[in-house]
A and B are shown apart, each in its own frame.
Chain A
Amino acid sequence: MTFFKALVGLFCAAWITKEVVLPGGAALLLSRPYMAAVNACDIAMESAWYGRESDPAERLSQDIHLLDCHEYDKLRKQMLFLGLNESYLSWLGLRSLEIHQRPASELAEQHRFIER
């Protein structure tokens, strides 16, 4: 009976950890770093797009800069692994645009119909 109680207790603890503590902790501690990572990757991708590809030195700097996107990707995977879902991360992505004070036109752009 004691063994059964311990087993149930352990199961409950594991369930609480997986379903509540880890996702809650991840949301609490990693949301802001995630939003910063979204922003950093956005800057890296944009500047790689505009940078001169034909200049090997510039290209190498772009490659190093794009490591920011690898960090973003890693953090995203870790957050998914910790139990946060895609919708929450997408919402953080949108929030990251807000906290970095993008103009209203830019925030609205993705909601505009391109074709109907």
Chain B
Amino acid sequence: MIRGLFLLIVGSLITVASAQARDLDSVLDRIIEAYAISACEKPVTSDLASLGEHLFSSKELSGARDISCSTCHIEDAGFADGLPMAIGVGGVGEGLARLEYGEGAIVARNAFTLIGRGHEKFNTFFWDGKIDVDGEQIFSPFGDQLADGFNSALAVAAILPLTERDEFLGEIGMLVENDLQREVGDALYQTRFKKLDMALQQRLEDSTDITAALSQAGYQASDVNLVLIGNALAEFIRRDFGCSTSPWEEFLSGEKTALTEQQKEGALLFFGKARCASCHTPPLFSDFRYYNLAIPQGSLGPHSRARDLGRAGVTNKAQDRYHFRTPPLLRVKETAPYGHNGAFGDLRSVVLHHANPVSSITNGSVTLHAKDELSYGKILALMSEKLSYIEISEESEIRALEQFLLAL
């Protein structure tokens, strides 16, 4: 009798305790429904992708034949380069080795990963969105000089680095010059496109390596131009980087155990309380809009006086100063450092910075450069309003968010 009563009490307490357990899976199902998220479907691609893969690793596309796309988009660094800022022409090696070499032009922005770039919804490229699409219209720094025939904004984005002096062409110098540099000279973007197109055609027609790859894809040497190169690179990126593989993707495919309980808690915060998803919107975890997170400028930037004006560099609008496109978060754990200038070494510090940019500076996770000392207030004053809606109140929430980010 006493044993029975004891069992009854224990059973009742277990029933009571289970009342507080939140069914995370069912809440997440609701979130997935609300955001209309589904597992990624791999795009169908053509044989042009093989040509693109070849071009991706070819140094023939760079002025001094010293760099290819694959130099700064390496698999071991999540198809970014693992550096705060990319090192372009004149550098040697890959990743950290490139930094240790100590030479080479610094491309004053963090190199982005390719993961997700091939997704059909990815339509705004680079930190400042300098390549963008509106309906059928592709906007780029080439303006109306851009040739017809590019099949997507991605294809235009893929050839943009080829036209940059610090990334591919080679910097203007007294002694070092190559055929591409000579042809392009000091031309601005609009005229640079046509000049480089002609110079590259001449060079690649003579390259046995490239002509062999062209012929394999069913093209002749005379067919090669920036449009074909762009379309081929884009097709390769669509084929290999259209979808991502991750615990989150597995979860979306119905594998409920792919995420840990803490990651599920993190997901709840991400989509709700912490407001992450209001900018890092699925499926690519970016809304492709522009925000100012009050990231200090640091010592380098692509604009005058080593500043980085962000989106304002494209639009010239005051309200766009220091605004950068929301970075997509697919496989974000592999793509450190973070931020447009690689100011954050790890995920934790970048999450904390969203919640409180001042403390990320006072605790030393981001360093203020001398030039920021008197100008950081201006950046803070222009911080995006959306950040004011973030609700993070406990350390456990930061940890859960961090864990969820590891699953993307």
Least distance between B66 CB and chain A CB atoms (Å): 43
**Given A13-B5, A25-B12, A43-B391, also A61-B20 (CB < 8 A):** no
In the complex, which of the residues B8, B22, B278, B385 has the most CB atoms of chain A within 10 Å of its own CB atom?
A: B278
Question: Which residues of B in the span 368-408 have a Cβ within 8 Å of any Cβ on A?
Answer: 385-386, 389, 391, 393
Cross-chain contact B391 with A47 (CB below 8 angstroms): yes
Interface residues on B, range: 20 to 34
Interface stretch, picked from B29-37, B317-325, B355-363, is B29-37
User: A residues within 8 A CB of B277?
Assistant: 57, 60-61, 64
Q: How many whole Å from B105's CB to the nearest CB in chain A?
A: 38
Is B281 interfacial (CB 8 A cutoff)?
yes
Q: How far is the CA of A108 from the CA of B374 in the complex (A)?
A: 43
Complex alpha-carbon distance, A26 and B27, angstroms = 24
Q: Please give, as numbers and ranges, the residues of chain B lying within 8 Å of A73 by CB-CB distance.
A: none
In the assembled complex, B275 has its CB within 8 A of some CB on chain A: yes
CB distance from A35 to the nearest CB of B (A): 11
In the assembly, what is the distance between CA of A57 and CA of B385, in Å?
Answer: 13
Contacts of B31 in A (CB 8 A): 64
Residues of B contacting A25 with CB < 8 Å?
9, 12-13, 16-17
CB pair B273 A44 closer than 8 Å: yes
**Chain A residues with CB below 8 A from B393, complex form:** 43
The one of A21, A40, A51, A75 in contact with B8, judged by C-beta atoms closer than 8 angstroms, is A21
In the complex, what's the smallest C-beta–C-beta distance from A112 to chain B, in angstroms? 27
Complex alpha-carbon distance, A33 and B17, angstroms: 10
* B residues 260-292 touching A (CB-CB < 8 Å): 268, 271-273, 275, 277-279, 281, 287
Alpha-carbon distance A42/B15, docked complex (angstroms): 27
Q: Which of B12, B30, B273, B278 contacts A57 (CB 8 A)?
A: B278
Chain B residues with CB under 8 Å of A63's CB are 34
**CB-CB < 8 A to A79: which residues of B?**
19
Interface presence of A82 (CB below 8 A): yes
- Asked if A82 and B272 make an inter-chain contact with CB atoms under 8 angstroms apart, the answer reads no
Is residue A55 contacting chain B, with contact meaning CB distance below 8 A? yes
How far apart are the CA atoms of A63 and B22 in the complex, in Å?
17
Contact with A along B161-192 (1 / 0, CB 8 A): 00000000000000000000000000000000
A75 to B272, CA, bound (A): 19
A107 in the interface, Cβ–Cβ < 8 Å?
A: no
Interface size of A as a range: 35 or more
Query: Is there an interface contact between B12 and A30, defined as CB atoms closer than 8 Å?
Result: no
- Say if the beta carbon of A58 comes within 8 Å of chain B: yes
Instruction: Give the complex CA separation of A15 and B8 in angstroms.
Output: 12
The CA of A104 and the CA of B287, in the complex, are separated in Å by 42
Q: Shortest beta-carbon distance, B289 to chain A, in Å?
A: 9
Which residue from B15, B20, B391 sits with its C-beta under 8 Å from A75? Answer: B20
Interface string of B347-369 (1 = CB under 8 A from A): 00000000000000000000000
| A17: interface (CB < 8 Å) | yes
B255 CB to closest chain A CB (Å) equals 22
The minimal Cβ–Cβ distance linking A21 to chain B, given in whole angstroms, is 5
B135 within 8 A of A: no
- B385 / chain A contacts, CB cutoff of 8 Å: 52
Per the bound structure, the CA–CA distance linking A29 and B12 in Å amounts to: 11
B1 at the interface (CB under 8 A from A): yes
- B35→A21 contact, CB < 8 A: no
* A67: interface (CB < 8 Å): yes
Please tell me if the beta carbons of A29 and B34 are within 8 angstroms of each other in the complex.
no
Shortest CB distance B269–A (Å) = 9
**Residue numbers in B under 8 Å from A26 (CB-CB):** 16, 19
B218 at interface, CB cutoff 8 A: no
Contact, CB under 8 Å: A30 / B16:
yes
> Which chain B residues in 1-51 approach chain A with CB under 8 Å?
1, 4-5, 8-9, 12-13, 15-17, 19-20, 22, 27, 30-31, 34-35
- For this complex, 22 residue pairs linking A to B, each with C-beta atoms less than 8 Å apart, are A13-B8, A17-B9, A22-B15, A22-B16, A25-B17, A26-B16, A30-B16, A30-B17, A43-B393, A47-B273, A47-B391, A55-B278, A58-B389, A61-B272, A63-B34, A65-B273, A65-B275, A66-B272, A67-B272, A75-B20, A82-B16, A82-B19
- Would you list the 7 A-B pairs with minimal beta carbon distance, nearest first? A64-B272, A65-B272, A57-B278, A25-B16, A33-B20, A78-B19, A61-B278
